[in-house]
Amino acid sequence: ETMINQIAAGEVIERPASVVKELVENALDAGANRVEVVTAGGGLNLIRVTDDGSGIAEQELALAIARHCTSKLTENIHDIRSLGFRGEALPSIGSVSRLSIRSRTATGDSAAEIGIEGGRVSAVRPAAANRGTTVEVRDLFFATPARLKFMKGERAESSATSDVVKRIAIAFPAVRFTLAGSDRSTLELPATDDTPEGRLRRVAQVMGADFPDNSIAIDAMREGVHLTGHVSIPSFTRANALQQYAYVNGRPVRDKLIAGAIRGAFADVLPRDRHAMTVLFLTLDPAIVDVNVHPAKADVRFRDPGLVRGLIVGSVRQALADAGI
Ligand code: ADP
Ligand code: MG
């Protein structure tokens, strides 16, 4: 069983940032309004995610770390509203690290805690905590030393973690996010709200206060696919830091087709070595997109890639032209 979990971990948990992604998604699935991330040693020594969400009842704690136990399955696989649904993340992480979960529900009169170390589960014990959940991951990959060798160093891992939090935070403007642990990657993103203005304020928190004034709004629709968001004007780009955020039905994605379409849209107005800063939200019928190609869930597969590419290239070019660029 530990072996199976370690194999699953190899698929889903590549580096500290993957742990942070899974834990933050769990916090959001639990309805958190505040998500706090603390790391040490680039996340290899410590990752701690604290939320004020629904919490886990004492008698469910052991289930939360059991393989394929999820509280989130719905009948329609295309209609997955929550971010997680495979019940793989916690057992996978617990098989390669020292993991502890401390949690308290709204109705529970005290908190409880469970631990798992390299796959070995401890008994549930009482603990002290406010409502919500704290998941602590220490010594990531201590149980799989071969994996440790692939880590890129503290700064690179910290900045990957910061990138993950930023990516998710743009999709959840009403949630407050903090990230602490290394100077380079500290974040404090106060809650805004889930309106166009609130979403743009969150984008400005992440991409810089000067981004909105140096960007163009996109709002286009083609055959039921809706594209909204902002792209930077060509004169406002930052060298090397690739700041392109894309969302499909509210989920962060990292997709070659979308990145290629952005490149195509800017091909005539940007030198090859510069990249536009973009935040794009695609909304479409969940039946014509598969967002679950890989367990890490960053890839997407569109039923009609040409439609999506054409929409992005066409509407971004049009918006640039309308702005006289
Ligand atoms: P999944 O998210 O795919 O269901 P996970 O392994 O990430 O699988 O989590 C297993 C289960 O543990 C979840 O279905 C949920 O019931 C519970 N859980 C995990 N993290 C939290 C959290 N922060 N708050 C409340 N429940 C949680
Ligand atoms: Mg999950």
ipTM, 2 dp: 0.99
Where, residue-wise, is CATH 3.30.565.10 in the chain?
A: 2-189
The helix (H) or strand (E) run that includes residue 160 is: helix 154-171
Report the alpha-carbon distance of residue 14 to residue 276 in Å, rounded: 28
Where, residue-wise, is CATH 3.30.230.10 in the chain?
A: 208-322
Q: Which residues line ligand 1 (CB under 6 A)?
A: 22, 26-27, 29-30, 51, 53-56, 64, 70-72, 84-90, 133
**Which ligand has the nearest atom to the CA of 85?**
1
The yes/no answer on whether domain 2-189 falls in CATH 3.90.550.10 is: no
Q: Which residues contact 276 (CB under 8 A, 6 or more apart)?
A: 231, 232, 234, 237, 244, 262, 265, 266, 270
Q: Which class in CATH covers the domain with range 208-322?
A: alpha beta
For 258-315, the pLDDT digits (tens) are: 999 999 999 999 988 889 999 999 999 998 998 776 666 577 899 999 999 999 999 9
- Dihedral (CA of 287, 290, 296, 299) sign: negative
Report the alpha-carbon distance of residue 88 to residue 8 in Å, rounded: 7
For 48-72, the pLDDT digits (tens) are: 999 999 999 999 999 999 877 777 7
Q: What are phi and psi of 81, to 5 degrees?
A: -85, -30
**Which ligand has the nearest atom to the CA of 70?**
1
